[in-house]
Chains A and B, each alone.
Chain A
Amino acid sequence: DGGITQSPKYLFRKEGQNVTLSCEQNLNHDAMYWYRQDPGQGLRLIYYSQIVNDFQKGDIAEGYSVSREKKESFPLTVTSAQKNPTAFYLCASSIRGREYNEQFFGPGTRLTVL
């Protein structure tokens, strides 16, 4: 089956710890995205990558870091510098260079800081 997987589904972090959220896709998409969603809110873009070894900051990149060493993978690290990391994190991917940017989403990771 083609799709996007995120792991883990639930993640608990102690204050001061860095954690890494996994996102993998087998859709052969060039572009990948990380969003944060707070309760009852829309999606805010953290980072996005349009090609391997390249990525750009989104609207709320502070306290987060990413890498794009492989086309299929776009891990997100939530660092201790992120002051309020408890949220639902969504990864998405899309085909680059089309007239429209239809994004395909993973199931999400819910991060809770204890």
Chain B
Amino acid sequence: SQQGEEDPQALSIQEGENATMNCSYKTSINNLQWYRQNSGRGLVHLILIRSNEREKHSGRLRVTLDTSKKSSSLLITASRAADTASYFCATDAPRSNFGNEKLTFGTGTRLTIIP
């Protein structure tokens, strides 16, 4: 079952503006990841944030995590036309052993950057 829900489902902004998308989940997590998917392609890992972290940066990406609200946000600063893609959050449940290693993906935000 889908655990993550992204908001908004679709977002269109002008090039150069910042884009923010949110992810909510339902159960405890070990970590949360964000992936990007260009149209008709596979997903590419962008950034990971652990459950004991609150904020993480990578280049123009900033991810926050609020475990009390079971939510995360992905901020892309100074957007470019090449950022046009769908963005998915994925959660990894806590595990006491190395079994049952699987991710649960959200429904995605479709981001369009207008040149």
A interface with B by C-beta (< 8 Å)? 4, 31, 33, 35, 40-45, 48, 50, 58-59, 88, 90, 92, 94, 96-97, 99-108, 110
Whether B102 contacts A48 by the Cβ 8 Å rule is: yes
Nearest chain B CB to A111 CB, angstrom units: 13
Selected A-B contacts with CB under 8 Å, 16 pairs: A33-B102, A43-B105, A50-B99, A59-B1, A88-B40, A96-B101, A100-B31, A100-B33, A101-B101, A101-B102, A102-B33, A103-B103, A105-B42, A105-B44, A106-B42, A108-B40
Contact with A along B88-106 (1 / 0, CB 8 A): 1010100000110111111
Nearest chain A CB to B74 CB, angstrom units: 15
Q: Which of A31, A42, A59, A106 contacts B101 (CB 8 A)?
A: A31
